């Protein structure tokens, strides 16, 4: 059995969908990253993997320092990429991943085949891991794994807060949810 700890990045210094494509962490985000490192401390030796996005790399830094090791940067746990030609990425994300309470849920069977292939790539990568791993990633990637682990067709099954830690087990070729991380609070999408 392999245990995965999926850590959502800390609060970014700029809102997503804005003028900055790859923001780093805000001051609050840096404090959240430090708290996540402390929470991971008792989990035993973990491999470290990070999305290439700056906010994830910066969220991983306190844990890297604490363990005197470096994260392997893995593109498959990065942000979901909108198709070419999408002018409003924010609207595209809301259409495919409606996270606000009360909005109609979207199902994986109804998304574009390229988006489904992205999800399958993330899941396939996770299922191939052979050692317990801390993965610094994103809201949608965590939901991609959680939906499979929960046997749900919905694209959004949880709302992980900044620097929250969601735990999965990989056992006999399946992904099992151990524990959802803390949920985000209203207005926390940045």
Residue 118 located in a structural domain = yes
What's the rounded Cα separation, in Å, for the pair 66 and 69?
A: 8
Residue 70 falls within a domain, yes or no?
yes
Write out pLDDT tens, residues 29-47: 999 999 999 999 989 889 9
Stronger pLDDT, 57 or 88, i.e. the higher one:
57
Q: Kindly report the number of other CB atoms within 10 A of residue 87's CB atom.
A: 7
pLDDT digit string (tens) for 64-77? 999 999 999 999 99
Does 172 reside within a domain?
yes
Tokens of 37: 């490192």
User: pTM for the complete prediction?
Assistant: 0.92
pLDDT band at 161 (very low <50, low <70, confident <90, very high): very high
d(CA 53, CA 138): 9
Q: How many domains does the chain have?
A: 1
In a domain, 185, yes or no: no
**C-alpha dihedral sign at 56, 119, 142, 17:** positive
Q: Does the structure show a pLDDT above 70 at 158?
A: yes
Q: How far apart are CA 164 and CA 114, in angstroms?
A: 28
Place of tokens 């899941």: 123
Q: Give yes or no for a contact between 162 and 140, defined as CB atoms under 8 angstroms apart.
A: no
User: Residue 144, class by beta-carbon neighbours within 10 Å (0-12 exposed, 13-18 middle, 19+ buried)?
Assistant: buried
Q: Considering the domain boundaries, does residue 109 fall inside one?
A: yes
Question: The domain that contains 172 carries what CATH number?
Answer: 3.40.50.1240
- What pLDDT does 71 receive? 98
Pairing mode, strands 165-171 and 72-73: unpaired
Domain extent for 15? 2-179
Q: How far apart are CA 47 and CA 134, in angstroms?
A: 6
Confidence grade of residue 188 (pLDDT, cut at 50, 70, 90): low
Is residue 81, in this structure, part of any structural domain at all?
yes
């Amino acid at each position: 059995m392999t245990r995965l700890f999926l850590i959502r990045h800390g609060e970014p210094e700029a809102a997503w969908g804005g003028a900055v494509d790859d923001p780093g962490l805000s001051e609050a985000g840096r404090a959240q990253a430090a708290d996540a490192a402390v929470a991971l401390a008792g989990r035993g030796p973990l491999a470290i993997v990070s999305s290439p996005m700056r906010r994830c790399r910066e969220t991983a830094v306190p844990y890297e320092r604490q363990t005197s090791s470096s994260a392997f940067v893995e593109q498959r746990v990065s942000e979901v990429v909108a198709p070419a030609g999408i002018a409003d990425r924010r609207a595209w994300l809301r259409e495919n991943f409606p996270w606000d309470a009360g909005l109609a849920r979207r199902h994986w069977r109804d998304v574009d085949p390229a988006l489904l292939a992205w999800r399958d790539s993330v899941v396939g990568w996770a299922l191939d891991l052979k050692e317990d791993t801390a993965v610094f990633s994103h809201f949608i990637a965590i939901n991609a794994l959680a939906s499979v682990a929960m046997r749900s067709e919905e694209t959004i099954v949880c709302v992980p807060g900044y620097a929250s830690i969601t735990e999965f087990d990989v056992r006999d070729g399946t992904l099992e949810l151990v524990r959802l991380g803390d949920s985000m609070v209203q207005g926390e999408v940045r």
